[in-house]
């Protein structure tokens, strides 16, 4: 679903979408070497071809809009390719993992699932809490100190790296009441906010899209499969080894 939404957004031909999905999955799998290089080179090549096509055949898609002559400060072809690559890679697998993690969390917290079934208006708040509780992003990119400073009680010297661990921040007892508990009503009853989508200038560009996709996917799933349940003991579920993303290898369920 997420790769379909993104490909619709940038008007990738339907026949090419499996290739885009496969390359995006490779780029986020934590692999190295030739496989990673080939996936990135292929995606960049496809993105250049997409930009060239939309330049000559504009439509109602995002890329055509960014190429439109009325843009005050139009992006260059290389900037558009970078944007497309970032949009596909960052917006595809993270949302896939958020939907899967959220499904597993709801199926292992039947009291919270019951609340969601009883009150459909809770869904936007539920997605927010699920992003905090089981979001797919474990850590952010490194930040480097531009001067000597202090983070918490730890001195950081100029040039040293700080690696923000998002999943730890989202379970910080100083910021959240009972942080290890899934509480779909949390964002209704308090002003507690998570860092699952980043913060400030570093907030995820596709946050609203990811929230909407997850809400639509969970709503459809729960409505269409009212007896949905796990097909294995939760402790037997296997997760991937990529240290950046917290994700399931598979999620076996019974319909």
Run of H or E residues at 151: strand 149-151
pLDDT score recorded for residue 199: 85
The per-residue pLDDT for 90 is: 82
Q: What was the pLDDT predicted at 141? A: 85
Q: How many helices (H) and strands (E) does the chain have?
A: 10, 6
Per-residue pLDDT, 242:
79
- Integer Cα distance of 36 and 38 in angstroms: 6
Structure tokens at 31: 């692999």
Task: Give the span between the Cα atoms of 32 and 42, in whole angstroms.
Answer: 15
List the chain residues with pLDDT less than 70: 30, 187-192
**Which strand (E) or helix (H) includes residue 230?**
strand 229-230
* Whether this model's pTM surpasses 0.85: yes
């Amino acid at each position: 679903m997420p790769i379909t939404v993104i490909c619709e957004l940038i008007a990738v031909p339907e026949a090419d979408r499996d290739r885009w999905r496969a390359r995006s999955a490779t780029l986020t799998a934590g692999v190295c070497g030739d496989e990673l290089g080939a996936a990135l080179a292929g995606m960049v090549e496809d993105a250049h071809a997409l930009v060239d096509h939309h330049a000559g055949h504009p439509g109602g898609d995002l890329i055509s809009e960014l190429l439109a002559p009325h843009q005050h400060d139009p992006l260059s072809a290389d900037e558009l390719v970078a944007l497309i690559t970032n949009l596909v890679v960052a917006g595809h697998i993270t949302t896939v993992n958020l939907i899967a993690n959220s499904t597993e969390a709801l199926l292992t917290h039947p009291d919270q699932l019951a609340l969601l079934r009883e009150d459909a208006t809770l869904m936007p708040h539920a997605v927010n809490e699920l992003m905090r509780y089981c979001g797919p992003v474990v850590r952010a990119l490194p930040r480097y100190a531009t001067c000597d400073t202090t983070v918490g009680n730890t001195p950081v010297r100029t040039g040293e790296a700080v690696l923000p661990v998002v999943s730890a921040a989202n379970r910080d007892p100083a910021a959240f009441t009972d942080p290890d508990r899934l509480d779909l009503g949390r964002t209704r009853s308090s002003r507690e906010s998570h860092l699952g989508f980043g913060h400030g200038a570093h907030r995820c560009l596709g946050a609203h899209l990811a929230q909407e996709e997850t809400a639509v996917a969970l709503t459809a799933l729960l409505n269409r499969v009212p007896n949905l349940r796990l097909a294995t003991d939760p402790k037997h579920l296997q997760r991937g080894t990529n240290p950046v993303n917290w994700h399931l290898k598979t999620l076996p369920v019974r319909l």
